[in-house]
Chain A
Amino acid sequence: MLPIWRAFVPLLFFATAGAVLDRALALDLGALGRGIGRWVRWATCGIVACFAAALHPVVLGALIALALVGRFVRSRWGSAPPSRGAPLRAPPWWGVAAAVLTLVVVCRPPTLSYWDGFVWLAKAKIESGGWGALRAATLDQSTDIVPPGYPLLWPLAASWLSMSGRSMEALAAGSAAMTLLTLMLFLDAAADAPGIGHPVAMPAGAPGAATRAAGERRWAALGLALVGVTPLVFVHLRSSYADLPVGLLAATCTLRLVRSVERGGDAPGDLSVAAITAIALAGIKDEGMAHVVALVVALIVVKVWKLWEGERLPLAPGMAVLAAAAIPFNGWRVLLASHHVVDADHSLSRPDFHAAGAIARTVLAHLADTRTWGALWPIAFVCAALVLARGNTFRSATRLATFAFLAEGALLVSAIVFGPARVRVFAFEGTLVNRLLLQLAPAAGAMLMLALADAAMAWQTGRRASPLAISTSPASPVPALTRSSD
């Protein structure tokens, strides 16, 4: 078992720092809901702020300035203050899922079994030598850091959460604590997702609202369980790799952004969480930035193709999230360039279109590997096709989540085509494709969860003729009760 207790004091420190920032910058993180979710959001905010400070004070200053601009815009043009409503309590199975996942993550031998030790924990050990040691070593060309130029958040967080431990077990516990944080953040967002945690169109006190919300949560559990029975997810939950956390953060960002867009100015906390996860994504891996860009592309596609029912779809929340991620991403790039350090693995090169066929075959072979993925990918892609083909059955939120899933997948696969030759070697002979697919698995889970909840809502209302029954007419193909604008 990992000595996870080492993370308790650092987590308390980060949560306190996050709570202070929440109050100072009016991020509304605490107002989203009480309980453990609030502490998870604060702790993530604290870690992200410390990471920004560790990169460069200017990066932290720019992020604070962005938050202040957001606060000013809300107060200047915003309407009524956000209505808090009565946050729903997470259902019991959510607690069970969190407890089981925690046991899976924590109950593993405290040793390194994979190349995660090579890439991440060796760097975390450098940071344990003192605050800023990893940044200094990475920006020093004379040191042999492998791979050079990679973003720093993951090893920094592993070191900080291990209380600057230098042993294998301490650092593995630090990275496990960060994995748990991303897991809880995702579960928190899934519990709050539109149509899952809150009945989107019914007043909280309306008759049957609670029953319906509980029923939809059951569907959410089934959707997420499809990801949970995936063999490779189990392997990565017990490792210090950053790919599953990247996927969890990307899915959290999607769910929170969707909720923010749906609720408009009523949900500043959702936008804050989306921005914080986007910063974390840009700070963990270069692919993280690709996830954020893909999400914004999906938002633009949904807007341009007029796939958003109800009120006009605003792009501002998406742009705010993109700007938040761009600050640490570009800040790190500027630091690397000014110290003449080259991130050889992730620099763009001339695209190798000749290899496109081989890449497609490799990706397909991985997708069809049921020993690694079970039936996850066929189900996810059929669900995506169904949402695209029969959009009227599904709410705007589900369509956006589906486009985000597809855009993230397309961008990650195209990175293999446009990346340096070394990346294609990793794709053909190594674990790269599976790790990229792992980054997509939580996004697939979020899409399945929303699609199941939509179909279930249509089924339930179709079955029972009640005051809650939906009306469908040619003018309003989307069930009126599920309108995002309501």
Chain B
Amino acid sequence: MLSVSLALAFAYALMHRQALTPRRIAVLLLAAAAIAAPGLRAVWMDRADAPLHAAETSKKVVALVDQMDTFAAARNECLQSVRNDCEECQPLVRFVLPVHTACAHPRGRIELRRDALATGCVARGDTLECGKSL
């Protein structure tokens, strides 16, 4: 409702020359920013990708990508299978293995559990286990 009221005030300013002053339009702009404030607060402060948390999230992403990259590179990106239960890891797996080509001697498995991003990976033989949840 607030945004519709603001839109009507904007229309009034456009229609009536007396209402269109730089100061009034600046006030409208501030009101628009106030309406957007909860969203702006979320993207600047609350979300995992917000500047306040981005460094922490970034560390987890870098660690997981590095571990998968090293594991896949050691096997010439020719893996037996990738089991992925971690939704947020999906883009990272695709980035590490952009082309799933058929290869002659596939070796190694990557298992990504739901909490893989938070807990990181451990290599056990030919399996890279990421995450602890079952």
Contacts and interface: CB of A to CB of B under 8 A. Distances in A.
Contacts of A123: 98
B62 A111 contact: yes
A208 interface: no
A455 interface: yes
B39 A382 contact: no
Given A113-B49, A452-B25, A375 B7 contact: yes
Interface residues of B, number: 48
A287 to B, nearest CB: 21
Contacts of A478: none
B6 A375 contact: yes
A456 B7 contact: no
A122 B36 CA distance: 33
Contacts of A385: 11
A107 B50 CA distance: 12
A237 to B, nearest CB: 10
A375 B2 contact: yes
Interface in A371-427: 371-379, 381-383, 385-386, 390, 393
A38 interface: no
A280 interface: no
B62 A382 contact: no
Contact of A229 (B32, B61, B101): B32
Interface stretch (A68-76, A218-226, A249-257, A310-318): A218-226
A40 B85 CA distance: 44
B80 to A, nearest CB: 15
A114 B91 contact: yes
Give the most central of B3, B8, B58, B102: most A CB within 10 Å.
B3
A142 interface: yes
A374 B3 contact: yes
Interface stretch (A19-27, A85-93, A458-466): A458-466
A395 to B, nearest CB: 13
Contacts of A144: 99-101
A333 B100 CA distance: 24
A97 interface: no
B106 to A, nearest CB: 14
A230 B39 CA distance: 8
B38 A143 contact: no
A481 interface: no
Interface string B32-56: 1101101110111000110100110
B38 A370 contact: yes
A231 B48 CA distance: 15
B20 A459 contact: yes
Given A117-B94, A451-B14, A231 B42 contact: yes
Given A117-B95, A226-B32, A382-B8, A235 B14 contact: no
B35 A374 contact: yes
A111 B88 CA distance: 13
A121 interface: yes
Contacts of B20: 455-456, 459
**What is the interface residue range for chain A against chain B?**
35 or more
Contact of A118 (B17, B49, B95, B99): B95
Given A111-B58, A379-B10, A235 B49 contact: yes
B43 A121 contact: no
Nearest to B47: A235
Contact of B35 (A115, A126, A370): A370
A74 B39 CA distance: 50
A449 B91 CA distance: 37
Contact of A109 (B22, B58, B101): B58
B54 A379 contact: no
B70 interface: no
B65 interface: yes
Contacts of A451: 14
A395 B35 CA distance: 30
Contact of A108 (B2, B15, B54, B95): B54
Interface string A352-375: 000000000000000010111111
Interface of B: 2-4, 6-8, 10-11, 13-15, 17, 20, 22, 25-26, 29, 31-33, 35-36, 38-40, 42-44, 48-49, 51, 54-55, 57-58, 61-62, 65, 90-92, 94-95, 98-102
18 contacts: A109-B58, A111-B57, A111-B61, A112-B65, A115-B90, A118-B94, A126-B98, A145-B99, A146-B94, A219-B25, A225-B29, A226-B32, A229-B29, A229-B40, A231-B40, A371-B38, A375-B32, A379-B10
Interface of A: 107-118, 121-123, 125-126, 137, 142-146, 168, 218-219, 222, 225-226, 229-232, 234-235, 238, 368, 370-379, 381-383, 385-386, 390, 393, 451-452, 455-456, 458-459, 462-463
